[in-house]
């Protein structure tokens, strides 16, 4: 019985469209609920460092002196803790697929100085 089922699946697979696609030249519509990847609206970021302290993977680095917010995409597990804990709500999960990469990389966002209001 098991062998019959397996044979049927194997034969069926020969005539079906493949489940995989040639990403990134082909893309799929992200399914509802896709966590995607962390994005930072740096215009609202105050470099408080809470996201860095809350990240369980050590994926975020906040460099106050250099006014830089960094994320190691290969350490991030998309848990969303940083997004929930950010006091300025400047972090969000962008529901899209990240571009492919051949090397591990850290994305750096330059945080502009807040303009003083009179």
Q: Cβ distance 101 to 41 under 8 Å?
A: no
Asked if 66 interacts with ligand SF4 (CB under 6 A), we say no
> In the complex, what is the shortest distance from the CB of residue 28 to ligand SF4, in angstroms, rounded to a whole number?
22
> In the complex, what is the shortest distance from the CB of residue 1 to ligand SF4, in angstroms, rounded to a whole number?
44
The binding track of 29-48 with respect to ligand SF4, each residue x by CB under 6 A or -, is: ---------x-x----xxxx
Label residue 33 left, alpha or beta by phi (over 0 means left) and psi (-120 to 50 means alpha): left
Asked if 68 interacts with ligand SF4 (CB under 6 A), we say no
CA–CA dist 39, 19 (Å, integer): 29
Q: 92: which strand partners? A: 39
- Report which DSSP code applies to 39: E
Q: Which helix (H) or strand (E) holds 57?
A: none
> In the complex, what is the shortest distance from the CB of residue 60 to ligand SF4, in angstroms, rounded to a whole number?
5
Q: Which chain residues interact with ligand SF4 by CB under 6 A?
A: 38, 40, 45-51, 54-55, 57, 59-60, 62, 71, 76-82, 86, 88, 90-91
């Amino acid at each position: 019985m098991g062998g019959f089922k397996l044979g049927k699946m194997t034969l069926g697979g020969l005539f079906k469209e493949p489940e995989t696609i040639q990403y990134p030249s082909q893309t799929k519509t992200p399914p509802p609920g896709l966590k995607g990847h962390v994005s930072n609206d740096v215009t609202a970021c105050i470099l408080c460092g809470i996201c860095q302290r809350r990240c369980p993977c050590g994926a975020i680095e906040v460099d106050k002196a250099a006014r830089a917010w960094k994320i190691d995409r290969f350490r991030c597990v998309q848990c969303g803790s940083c997004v929930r804990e950010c006091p300025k709500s400047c972090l969000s999960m962008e529901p899209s697929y990240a571009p492919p990469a051949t090397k591990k990389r850290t994305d750096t966002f330059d945080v502009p100085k807040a303009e003083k209001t009179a």
